[in-house]
Structures are given as C-alpha cells and as structure tokens.
Structure 1
C-alpha cells in the first residue's frame, strides 16, 4: 500500500467509537491500510496539556449534544457513559496483544458493546460479557500487552492531544495529523 493511517483511540472516548464505526468502510473506499493503535487517553491529555471536556461545564453540555447529533448522522446507536466511570486499560492491553483483523474485530466489539449500551463497562466482568455477546474467542481475554503506553508517546510525538487522532503516512511527504471524527472528511480528501 502507498498510504497508511495510524488510528489512535481509547475505548473511553465516545468520539473514538464514532470514528471506529466508520474506519472499515473508509479503509476500503480509499484502499488504505489502517493500523488500530490503542493508547492511554488520560495520559496523552496530561502530557499534551489538554483537559477533558467533562471538566468544563459548557463544553460537557455541548459535547453530549454533539455526540448525539453525530450518532444520529452516522446512524449508529449511542448511550452516553458518565466520564471516569470505567477503566479501559484491561481492554487496551488485550487490543495491543492482538494483530490485524483480530485487533480490529475486538476493538469494534468493545466500542459497539459499551457505547450502544449493550454492556455496562462499570460491571466487573464487562470484558467477559463483550466476548460472550460478540462471540469472540475466549482466549483473547488472556492476551496482555502494554504497547498502549508506547502508542501514547508515539501519538504525542505525532502532535496528538486527544482522540480519535489519525496520522496519514504516504510514500512521499511528511506524515499528516487529523483530529476528530469531524475531520475525517479532510482525511478522506488527503487520501485522494
């Protein structure tokens, strides 16, 4: 492939969920290879000096409305989860240990299950519930990898400050950063 996109995400990010639902069709349409790269969003935000929208009242209110609009526009189910109520790191460790289509399948299953409201990620066995609901291989739960921490630093070095972040890499030219589901149109144009 002459083009590749590094897709940085964290399962705690509802905007990452919205972007993830679009990635498979996007990759096919643009004949681009997408690398799903889990990262630690709170750590990335701290390192980059960013703050969570939940900490700013008006931004939090706006973001909830915006997320609902985006979910409607993209025709995907959406149920808001209160920020800070679940730990995504166990799922990030599994995602980091899987490769290729297995990683994408697992990530989509996690995103769809928690952000549609099918699974409550505050329950202690939520990962097992996702694996059962989505009929994923149970042995995936045993996979563990801490690559998400290295991905966090790689994203920071690429200029990221939040997720979803996309880094477009072509055979010629410098890598180009795009931030947010609302910039996937710009990413699409850059791929063309």
Structure 2
C-alpha cells in the first residue's frame, strides 16, 4: 500500500481548491495519507520562495485571476480577499495534528473544514471558538484544541524540517513515500493519480 505525505498550510488557497480529490485518489488506489500541516511562510523562507506580501505585483495580479478561475472550474466558492487572512496557522495546525493522533473522526473533513472556513466562510481559523466548532463538526473532541498544544507544537516544527528535507517548497505538496515522487499543487493531482496506478 502506497503512503502519501501531504504537506500543507491551513491558510493555503491552493490546498483549499484541492477539495477532497486527494482522499478520493488515495481511496481509489488503497493508499494512506499522513497529514503534515506546517508553517507555510517559514517554508517559503527556507526554500527560496517569496511570501505573498513581498511578491511582485504582476505575480499577485495573476494570482488574483487564477484563483477565481480554478474555483469556478472546480465549482467551489471562494472569497479572493477573506476577512481573516493571513492569520496564525499554528492553532488550526495543532488541532489537525492532535486529531490525527487521536483518531475517531473525519480527518480529511477537518482539514478541508479549516481551509473552507478561511476561504469561503469568512471565519478566523486562529480563533479558539472556531477551532473547537470545526473539531466538533467533524467528530472530534473539541478539547483537542487545548490538550494537543504541546504535541502539536513539537510536530508542527518537525513537519517543517521534514518538508525541507524531502524537497517540499509549497502547498499543497504531496510526496509518495514509497517512490520518492513529489507533486506540487492541486493541479498535479491527476499526475499523482497516474503515478499511484503505476505502482
């Protein structure tokens, strides 16, 4: 069974646009997914990327065209300028890490729930009440928002180091552990699908 490491930032619009396609592909091929939320801005800093606030206007103008194009193509609602962006990714990331360790709920739904809250629902995913609500909505104990802080912080930092080590540099970033093949971006999911079919 193939194993996919999924590196992402909980405020990444491109991870939001991936929707449930990763999970559908993994299920189709009997592959497992390990969710690895990380500090996306630090990943940019560590791997030669540029934070959005510092990007050239032409790049940001193109982004402002491309995101709505993809959202329309995929049939997903998108607010190009969400009320709560950027926000601190750590609290929602800690919640994902704690939920993955605890099990028992819909982890894929939780991840998408945070992304959707940011990009389609105008909610602040760094707010404790929002985090608790999204945890509970996906079958997890809302108390994980508190109890998972220590392990979450430790794993969050480790995820960043691992991302740099395996050559990840953006979000979403998918690494097939068995083959070492890397796929950057929600627009590369078809290639991931084809790769898993070849294993």
Structures share fold, TM-score greater than 0.5: yes
Please tell me whether residue 179 in structure 1 is matched to residue 184 in structure 2: yes
> Structure 2 CA distance, aligned partners of 1:33 and 1:91?
22
Q: Which residue of structure 2 aligns with residue 7 of structure 1?
A: 6
Change (3 A) 1:76 1:21: farther
Alignment partner, residue 38 of structure 1: 37
The Cα of 1:101 is off from its aligned counterpart by 6.1
Answer yes or no: is 1:73 the counterpart of 2:77: no
CA RMSD of aligned residues (A): 2.4
Task: Indicate if the aligned counterparts of 1:119 and 1:129 stay in contact, CA closer than 8 A.
Answer: no
1:52 and 2:51 aligned: yes
| Residues 98 and 77 (structure 1), Cα distance of their counterparts in 2 relative to 1, 3 Å cut | same
Which residue in the other structure is 1:19 paired with?
Answer: 18
- 1:105 aligns with one of 97, 104, 109: 109
The answer to whether the 8 A contact 1:85-1:122 is kept is: no
Distance 1:4 1:188 in 2: 13
Instruction: Extract unaligned runs of 5+ from structure 1.
Output: none
Counterparts of 1:165-176 in structure 2, within 5 Å, are: 165-170=173-178, 174-176=179-181
Summarize the Cα distance change of 1:83–1:123 in structure 2 as closer, same or farther, 3 Å threshold: closer
Aligned-residue offset at 1:10? 0.7
Task: Give the unaligned 5+ runs of structure 2.
Answer: none
CA shift in 2, pair 1:136/1:116, >3 Å:
farther
Pick closer, same or farther for the CA change 1:79–1:165 going to 2, 3 Å: same
